Structure 1
Amino acid sequence: MDKKDIDILEILQKDATIALADLAQAVHLSVTPCWRRVQKLREDGVILKQVSICNPVKLNLGLTVMVTLKAAQHNEAWMQNFIGGASAIPEIVEILRMSGDIDYLLKVHVPDMAGFDSVYKKLVKVADLQDVSSSFVMEVLKSTTALPLDYAVLKQGRN
């Protein structure tokens, strides 16, 4: 990955709908080499996918809940059962395995408290849990999907 790849990623993280010709012009390449670089970034797993990010409030999902869980068991079978069951609940949009006092952190989008209660009831049926705690997001102060590119390993001399 070189500086041109970083420039491409910086632009695509802001707007993945940019036309290829506009992207190529912005990074000072012709269209074909720019397209090849984007394809290589996909093949290498640097670009995982391109999506549309929706406004949860506009979709009647105005309540965001962060749920912390402590597992009742710590084995592969329990974990696979939990991940499979929790992943099947569409309101759960992120599942993170943690270190420290909690085992899992979940991000949940629901319309309201009744919607969360429904998710909670599904969640506790998924696997044996030692503890479940919920915190309700009052205000989102920063939200981005763009990763910092300052740490990317650069290689010189790519055309």
Structure 2
Amino acid sequence: MRQIEIDDEVFGYLQSQARAFVDTPNLTLRRLFQLEKNPPKPAVVAPSQQKTRKKLPKANLLALISSGLLQDGQSVFLVDYQDNKLTQYRAVIAGSSLKWHGQTYSMSDLAQELLKKEGYSSTSVRGPTHWCTDDGITIKTLWQQYLSKTTLANS
């Protein structure tokens, strides 16, 4: 579908020609321009045929620690939006959180704060994509590995 801009006078005219609670602006224009009576309808997909996207569970540092993919006290490094490992920002895994300069943070909160220092200004930061191990593997990747292992084990 295309979008057009119309001024207030044209919109007012469209409203005056519309049938209340029935016409959309498009149906009103079709009627005024004497286009086909039955406009093409969008395909309706039955709920049983709709693909539902299951939201994955949030990355859980404790689960990664208990599975052996991470260790409590292990260092992790900030990764910027260009996938550069910023070694000057080293945090330590402390249970379900990260410790940096003696304070405890969630992965997302600390990543957002440090990325801001680097000149990025996002209000929504996905922490697991911005933290990696010494060898450059992100927490997100480790979480995906963990989920695939546990899904296979439960199948």
What TM-score, normalized by structure 2, do the two folds share?
0.21
Q: TM-score with structure 1 length normalisation?
A: 0.21
Structure with the larger RCO, 1 or 2 (CA within 8 Å, 6+ apart): 1
**The structure with more radius of gyration:** 2
